[in-house]
Amino acid sequence: MNIKMRNEAINLMWIRDYLRMGKTRPKWAFLADEIFRLERPKRAKETPEEIVKWNPFTQDWRPKERAKHIPERIQSAMKSASKHGVGLEAAKPSHETKVGLPIWLHRKTNSKAARLYKKNEAKCLKTKHKTHYVHQVVRLTEEVPKNHRKTNFCTCETC
């Protein structure tokens, strides 16, 4: 039996369990999410703590290599996932799933949309309007008050 292949298979099964969402998700996966948050890259540090469903597979970032807070077991599994191109994929995600995803540093964001992350408008949405998920941005665009002004000094009830 090839030990390296066996360990790789174990790592991939561990990642499969980590990626489970909902009631069947193991408790240790939530702990792993917290560890990843500690070691997220500098550009993701701005991402608000309120985002619960974020991890390296839902967001466009990876934890630092050889990070001191990430146990070797988790690092090994992440390397296996990267090597084999593991990611969250859904053939036909429901509307609920789509709007429940984090909006910032999203995994499937194209390069033009990714550049918007640092713009003033995006900073306003993140800090002033507290938008963290797709459904929050959709709701915000559907409920624009008539007295809204496109400035930093808008005093409408939404702003």
Packing angle, helices 27-38 and 3-19, rounded to 10: 90
- The C-alpha torsion from 58 through 20 and 81 to 84, rounded to 10°, is -100
pLDDT digits (tens, 9 = 90+) for 48-77: 555 555 678 877 777 776 777 888 888 999
| pLDDT (mean) for 7-14 | 94
Residue 114's H or E segment, with its range, is helix 111-115
Q: What is the CA radius of gyration of the chain?
A: 18
Residue 26 is predicted with a pLDDT of 93
| pLDDT (mean) for 124-153 | 80
pLDDT digits (tens, 9 = 90+) for 112-125: 766 777 777 787 78
Q: 4 phi and psi, to 5 degrees? A: -60, -45
Nearest to 66 by CA among 56, 76, 52, 57: 76
Domain segments of the chain as ranges: 3-142
Q: 106 phi and psi, to 5 degrees? A: -70, 140
